[in-house]
Structure 1
Amino acid sequence: MVVLSSSRHALWRCVFSLLLLVHSAVAYSVISDDTLRALPRPGDDFDIHTGKLLSPILIPRVPGTPGSTAVLNHFNDFFQTSLPDWKIEFQNSTSKTPVSGDKEVPFVNFIAYRDPPWASKGDVGRLTLVAHYDSKYSPEGFIGAIDSAAPCAMIMHAMRSIDAALTKKWTEMGARGHSNLDLDEHTGIQVLFLDGEEAFQTWTDTDSLYGARSLAETWEDSYHPVMSNFKTELSSITLFVLLDLLGAKSPTIRSHFPTTHWAYQNMGKLENRLRELGELRSAPPHEEKAKRNEIRWLVDVEASERHVTSRGGISDDHLPFMHRGVEILHLIDFNSGSGFPKVWHTMEDTGENLDGPTVEDWSMLVTAFAAEWMELDGFFETTPSARSADLHSRKTEL
């Protein structure tokens, strides 16, 4: 009897996992133009001097230093005050580095997630948005605005923007009652701000990705209860979306993995639609529609997945997760001709060298992607007239 029960559960778990893949890749619900127009804008939150989201991150934040602690406190305060329904966790580790000798350096990963209120933790697959928050040890005083203060702020804005819609959706679903077979009720969302991505001396397999390596290893062995739909914390990640080196003008974002090219294409389609609707500040003015439609950050949208070459060779925080079977969408600014943005790993990677419209537009695109993934169409407050006035007034300030 026990063997039969376990076998049935194992079979159901396999079926459930397959259905989740089908649900994500095939039954992906396209968000409406009205909802795209209704997405909240960050306003002044990305001001590099006073912005509530971005400015506190634009400081040196080497692991184990007061700057790192200050940024962690910023994340914690943001989620506790702005997103009180989210659960917060910290994952700690230590490691010796090439510059610390025998001293163990502490690394702290920040984790925040929100699941449907009726679902058990092990029964929920989560869209996972990721950026590293540490900055380089050398040169001293390095800020790392694109690398990766701005991506952290973009994710914070996106999560705040969809939170009320999540509440409204899940409240309505709860009022209607729900079935355990409804896959939409097993979809949550998660944020990882990872520590120790940067090398302290020279990038190697052991001098880099300190936080990501620790978390992936820990979650691989963090088991959910035996009757859960997902075996481990790691297997609960339905898509690992990594943002890095974003915030410079005119980025080039390639599709890196055939198995997630469909997700890349969905984000590319959202970019194009937002431009066509005149909702992105980095596009030319509304009357120059032809020129606006020529702009494309996600340049491989029209490519077939058969022609997408795996570019896993770009070393980044996704690698420890990818090597354990997690599906990756890597959003990194890299041009095969010119390489990474010109400020990369230089003292010029400061807030002053961020392109404001591009940073804001990335936050809108990430918001749209998360809203579409979480099927939040129709759950946003729509005030298009006020939004249009704000957008056009901000364009005239450029």
Structure 2
Amino acid sequence: MTATAWARRAGLALIVPAVAAGCGSSSGSNGATASGGSSSTGSIATAKAFVDQAINGADRPLPTSSPKPQPGKKVWVLSCSQAAEGCQVPAAGAAEAGKMIGWKMTVFDGKGDPATYAKGVRSAIAAKADGIILVSIDCAAIKAPLDEAHKAGINVFGFYGIDCNDPFAGGGKKEFDGQVDYGKKYGSFTEAVENRYARLIADYTIRKTNGKANVIAITEDDIAVVHYIWRGYLKWIARDCPDCKITKLPIALSDLLQGKLQGKVQAALTKNPTANVVFAPYDAAITGGVAAAVQASGRDKQILLTGGEGLTPNIEMIRKGQGQDFAAGGPPRWAGFATVDGLNRVFHGQPTVDEGIGQAVIDKDHNLPTKTSYYDGKSDYEANFKKIWGVGR
């Protein structure tokens, strides 16, 4: 992959796995248009209430106890790409947290390449690792190496990736021994994606347009988690906004990597001159062409451009009012700490617990970070983890 392609890809990974694994068939035709429909069981008021809650931050209580960490564990952190902030920051957080409790941490750069991911897993096996943390990598990309890791007695902990037993990933055997826990209310990772992350973006759209959104919705099915993001977005728009209009714009990861995304979005905006919202399922799509397309249309001030995680370049766009207007903040370093807390519980044969990670509305008026260049939550998670792990006192 060229340096230019990597530049486009940078940041493609806090919510979005960097590998095009877990493919499935598209559930909508190109350019399909639909409205919410009068059968909606929700309401605009419901959407506004959900957004109001997230304006104050939707973080939940942090864990209050932990099994005593066992020093000396050898843990490999397999980052989808150290060139991508959405991979690098949580990987660094996991490495930092692991060292705090006496683990021997190794960060391996997957370079966005499934063959390199496989090499990383097999290197961990050769090093006789006790655990592997996968940062934004789908199981389907490395199923055979993960089987080998399990046979070697290594625990595998997934973070922002889809396990092999997911229906969209083929419905095979489960390979992750644990994943970051988002609480019983949201259930599985994919349920949290649809009903928390995607819902916040949808309800913010409804709130800002007062239920009169005419949306160009970017959809993508070659990355499993992105399928769940756009599917959840459309579901919540339909539920809470009977007067909203949706026009799907199917894309592929290759459009982003080959610089074709801007042209596709510009064509969609030309075809739909009354569109007042563009939905991008993840931040890298915005920096990779969507924001440029909106600005080139001359309708930047009339179009609400919603994004994803709240990574550094996207935060700057929001802060300066250049293209992107909103992100559904997800804290990457906190998530890295949560992987270590979860893996420690797996080592002890205990179930994972809700790590408290929520989301927040990030727009020009709310939750722009001041201590970090990216959004990292509102809780003092580091102090809490140190306390329950019994370190740093």
- What TM-score comes out, normalization by structure 2 length? 0.31
- What TM-score comes out, normalization by structure 1 length? 0.31
